[in-house]
Amino acid sequence: PYTYALYAAYGFTSAEIAQLFVVGYGSSLVFGCFVGSFTDRFGRKKCCILYCILYCVSCITKHFNMYMPLMLGRITGGIATSMLNSCFECWMVSEHTLRRKFPESLLSYM
C-alpha cells in the first residue's frame, strides 16, 4: 500500500502505477523460471550477493520522481524477489549436505 501511495504522491496516473506493478511482478515471474539454473551456473554465494545489489538498486530508485528509473527499480525488485525465494535456500542446502556433511534428514525440519 505504501508503494502505491508513493507513486500517487509523485503524480503518476493509476494506469502508470498499474504498469509499474505489472512489470515488477512480471519480471519476477519470468526470471523465476530461470533463477535456479542461473544460481547453479554462477554460484549460490554470488547470486545471494547479486540479490543484495539488485534490491539496493530497487530501493534507491524509489527516491526518483521519474517513470523510467522507477520502472528499472520494479524490474530489479522483481528479479531480486525471485532470487530471495531460491538462492539463499539453495546455498543453505548445499552447505548443509556438501560442506558440513550433516544428515539430509535434518532438512525435513525446515
Name the grid cell of 65.
Answer: 520522481
φ/ψ of 13, rounded to 5, equals -75, 165
* 40-93 pLDDT, tens digit each: 899 888 999 999 999 999 999 999 999 999 999 999 999 999 999 888 887 777
| Lookup: cell for 13 | 496516473
- In the block, which residue shows the cell 547479486? 50
pLDDT at 110: 61
User: What per-residue confidence (pLDDT) applies to 60?
Assistant: 97
**Euclidean distance between CA atoms 44 and 70, whole angstroms:** 28
